[in-house]
Structure 1
Amino acid sequence: MGIREENRKYYREKILIAAKEVFTSKGYEHTTMEQIAEKAEIGLGTAYNYFKSKEELFILSMAENMADTTEINLEDIQYASGNAAEIVTDAIMKHLKKMNWVNKKIWKMAFPVILSSMKSDKMPIQEVLKADFKIMDKIRVLINQLKAEHLLPFDFDTPTAIDLIFGALFLQLSLYVYTEDSTFEQTCERIKADIRFVFNIK
């Protein structure tokens, strides 16, 4: 990696870290690009060289946060309960709790931008999808560990289970965003029920 590319990576990460801090402390509506640039100790023009808008910066900083799967620590998984569905559910819930700092109004803004970015080059959608891939990869490893612990049959269809869990997460989070009276807690309960169904546990 050349010096120029190293500098670009350095400033990009610096801006994302600053954005995450400002969005978290002030909320989306009360955050400006000027505040983010000031927090990152760079000029406003430099910030716009890396990110085209506050919306793009918000979504990418949120995606960076979601891609961090440190909450799903497979080494700390407890298998004593013997309940595969509950073990997988617990791992996913620990990760989803990070999302609750973003209110529904912001998610409603973010969803169309994320979806529309799939049809253009204005938003690096790969950065957003990276979060989903990392989470699902952790769950795949966990399911295989459950097989090794004999808590799931050896022939349990892991790829299909992953697809169903991913679909349930996307559907329920979409319903949460677009259903006015749906709460985050209710959404989590519906996700838990969907995961139990995947593992065929009543």
Structure 2
Amino acid sequence: MTQPAAQPARAGRRWRLIPPLFLLAEVVVVIGLFQFIGWWTVVVLLGLSALGVVVISTNTRRSWRDIQTMRRTGEAPERTAGDTAFVVLAGVLLIFPGILSSVLGLLLLVPLTRTWLRRLVGVAASRTLLRTMGVRVHHGAGGSPFGDVVQGETSPRAQAQPQAYEQVPPAALEGKIVDKPTD
């Protein structure tokens, strides 16, 4: 019975390792770049941070204009809240002094990357919501972040997989106890 509780604990430990490993990788990359181009590394880092400030300020102004347009016309703006959040995250990553974080920030500025990431976050959020509602989600359920699924033939192995959604039994049973009559 302790096995299900151990799995989330292991997953939590893995997630806690990501920030220190990322910071270590940032330091290693900056040191490597410094050895390669010298003091120009400082100029590159300052330039990327300035770009992050410009991205955040431009996006803030654009979002404010979208909100004002929406209030005036009653129509939703073309830019979505997800795009705004990803562009602000890109600006924050660019401001953070590091090459790897700046590369991630620059990737978030590409519209195709934001579209793919928005789908991926949507799938992850829907799976998390379903799990909290007591629905077990198996691998491959919840849609594909890469687009529509093309229907075709399936292999016998794929047909043997469990259903995508399975109701998790409740932790406690409700009902009344009925004594069996004795003869």
Same topology, TM > 0.5: no
Higher relative CO (CA 8 A, sep ≥ 6), structure 1 or 2?
A: 1
Larger Rg: 2
User: Structure 2 length normalisation: TM-score?
Assistant: 0.27
Query: Which has the larger helix fraction?
Result: 1
User: Structure 1 length normalisation: TM-score?
Assistant: 0.26
